Chains A and B, each alone.
Chain A
Amino acid sequence: MNDDASNSLPLAPAALHILLSLAAEDLHGYGIMQDVARQSEGKYKLRPGTLYDNLQKLIRRRWVEELGQKPGDDDPRRRYYRLSSLGRGVLAAETARLASVVREARLRLQVAKPRRA
């Protein structure tokens, strides 16, 4: 799993956002789109073509599982998706990678500031 995860990093923005959406709860496609828009405060808009293309890949990699329809949903055509443990591991690895990038960036920006003064 570690190999798979490290080979796949860094994640493409669409994949990252999708995994992030599913990390909190199981969602259908439209739910993922809305959650991604919310995460990025509307700056990143995921359209169905990109969404399902990425879902297709994520399912193939077994990072995301397809749960099928949920009884009682107002639209029977919707299917729900869940983050697998594998996907969760990948997301954790990516988050750690990003965190180190952010840490490094902050460090450098802080060092650079006094010079400019």
Chain B
Amino acid sequence: MIHKYYLNGFYIVLDVHSGGVHVVDAVIYDLLDFVAPPFSQELFEKACAALSDKYTSEQLLEAYEEIKELTEAGVLFSADDYEKFADMMVSAPIKSMCLHVAHDCNLRCKYCFASTGDFGAGRKLLDAETGKKAIDFLLTHSKGRKNLELDFFGGEPLMNMPVIKEVVSYARSKEKEYNKNFRFTVTTNGILLDDEITDYLNREMYNIVLSIDGRKEVNDRMRPTVNQKGSYDVILPKFKNLVDKRGDGQYYVRGTFTKYNLDFAADVLHLNEVGFDQVSVEPVVADPKFDYALTEEDLPRVFEEYEKLAKAMIEKKKKGEGFNFFHFMIDLDQGPCAIKRLRGCGCGNEYVAVTPDGDVYPCHQFVGMEQFKMGSVFDNSINQEMKDDFARANVYTKEECKNCWAKFYCSGGCNANNYQYAGDIRKSFKLSCEMEKKRLECAIMMKAALAADDAE
């Protein structure tokens, strides 16, 4: 399977099953509308007849030979031989956990999928005992996996700082005995950051996700405080302070865009301009009944905005002012292996979420959906049948993914989104797919543009 597209002056051809990325000229691009294996003189002649007004027969023959050469080398029209690996997709050790330390929040973000922080189940903080049980759960269910990830999540996790500290120190005390390496992350709105907490997080957290939407008016419209005041002026200096002190440590400023700011490229660029070089701004997940929800009619505008952002980022990079936008980051050579790419996030299988009550869910997005409660840290239980079902959700068991060119980049999308919108974890949510494909096209085009610049 191949996918070809034209963007920003580049003709790009992706060979899906080898991962090959080719920048081609117009002759090849047009010729690929006609020729494919099994190659035949008849097909080629048809192509020549159709393209003779645009290209000389010499150009066409030369291009045709190159297409055949790449095909023989296995990097064009390569066969799909991954299904055998997909059949091997069975239940894996649980090695990532989203720990909900606070089902409460000090902001009232209008798009919050967690119902202002309590996930619709009442405000509650995790207690230290339950937190330690969650660590025990992870230590045993992770079996032979060495690297364990624990994300302190909420609500707003910093509302429960003493428990975070206790859980971190408990987990660290077990690393040697169990031969594990804990990587902690925290996702915070920043309101409660002070110097002491900042230093602690910078020391203990492998990654820190700082929530801010972009320009002041955009952020403050959707992320007000409990008293309906804007949060931008409070959090920005705190985030800058944290990042300044962080050194090389991993972090992202992470925003959400909605129908209210379809010009979100300006928000991404704003976050970079105020001093952040690791930026993620993502489409809102919301029921279409809400005014701010993204709908299919927004897609042309969203696409235009991604293109605008990609072009702006290329220019910045050329000037030596490059920064990372999470969704445009792709490593074409050293990225994850094909096995990882078959099933993506691993929710409900390698990855689970734990609530302040100690209940286990497939991921944070499923929390509060009673039918997806799959275990408890108190009796170390896990619903193996449900876990197996999530384990089998891969790009070959998702009908729309199987024949999609983007399957090895997005890996089947978000199972929770699929469930929320299509009622089935294996049914793709079209809006997300379209945006993801556009982001990938932009990300790969950026590689082409920067490679061309290097060559000059």
Answer yes or no: are A and B bound together in one complex.
no
User: Which residues on B are within 8 Å of A, measured CB to CB?
Assistant: none
Spell out A's residues near B (CB within 8 Å): none
